[in-house]
């Protein structure tokens, strides 16, 4: 398993992560992004979308659960499980496997810990752990478990 830690001093530095990550992405990838409120998970999703070539602005999908951004040869699913924290087990099923394998899909999932039962079938995955550093800094650990 490959592991790499990044020290992000400003939002723009998130491109250092996506620059390394995007060339490794294959046909269907699930990227699980964990870390506390406001640490920058959605900002990382924005940067990944940009790096994949998506020109639309990527906003937090908190009220939609899943937002889909489509390119000719790629679907980018931005998923935010935060709202599922208090949901019942059966309503936690994200049904992401309906899409897996059919086309070229990249899933980025925020708050994966709130939909663990639904996501475990996608393991091994790319896991990204974000945490607060000094001042405005963020620490980002990328664990490629594929």
**Residue nearest to ligand ATP according to CB distances in the complex:** 40
Rounded Cα–Cα distance for residues 124 and 109 (Å): 14
Least CB distance from residue 80 to Mg ion, whole Å?
A: 6
Q: Is 38 in the site for ligand ATP (CB under 6 A)?
A: yes
Long-range contacts (CB closer than 8 Å, 24 or more residues apart) made by 66-74? 66/94, 73/104, 74/104, 74/105, 74/106
Work out what residue 101 binds among Mg ion, ligand ATP, none; the CB cut-off runs from 5 to 8 Å by kind: none
Rounded Cα–Cα distance for residues 123 and 126 (Å): 8
Q: Which of 30, 94, 110, 115 binds ligand ATP (CB under 6 A)?
A: 110
Q: Which of 1, 23, 26, 37 binds ligand ATP (CB under 6 A)?
A: 37
Which residues sit at the interface with Mg ion, rule CB under 5 A? 41-42, 60, 110
In sequence order, what are the beta bridge partners of 108? 31, 78
28 or 60, CB closer to ligand ATP? Answer: 60
Q: Which of 6, 43, 99, 132 binds ligand ATP (CB under 6 A)?
A: 43
Work out what residue 131 binds among ligand ATP, Mg ion, none; the CB cut-off runs from 5 to 8 Å by kind: none
**Residues of the shown chain interacting with ligand ATP in the complex, contacts defined by CB under 6 A:** 8, 10-11, 14, 35, 37-43, 60, 110, 136, 138
């Amino acid at each position: 398993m490959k592991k790499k830690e990044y020290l992000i001093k400003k939002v723009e530095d998130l491109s250092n992560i996506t620059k390394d990550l995007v060339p490794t992405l294959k046909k269907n990838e699930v990227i699980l992004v964990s870390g506390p409120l406001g640490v920058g998970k959605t900002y990382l999703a924005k940067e990944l979308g940009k790096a994949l070539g998506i020109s639309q602005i990527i906003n937090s999908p908190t009220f939609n659960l899943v937002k889909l951004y489509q390119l000719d040869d790629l679907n980018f699913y931005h998923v935010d499980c935060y709202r599922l924290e208090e949901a019942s087990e059966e309503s936690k099923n994200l049904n992401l496997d309906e899409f897996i394998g059919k086309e070229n899909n990249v899933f980025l999932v925020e708050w994966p810990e709130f939909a663990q039962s639904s996501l475990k079938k996608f393991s091994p995955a790319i896991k990204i752990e974000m945490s607060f550093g000094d001042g405005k800094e963020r620490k980002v650990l990328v664990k490629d478990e594929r």
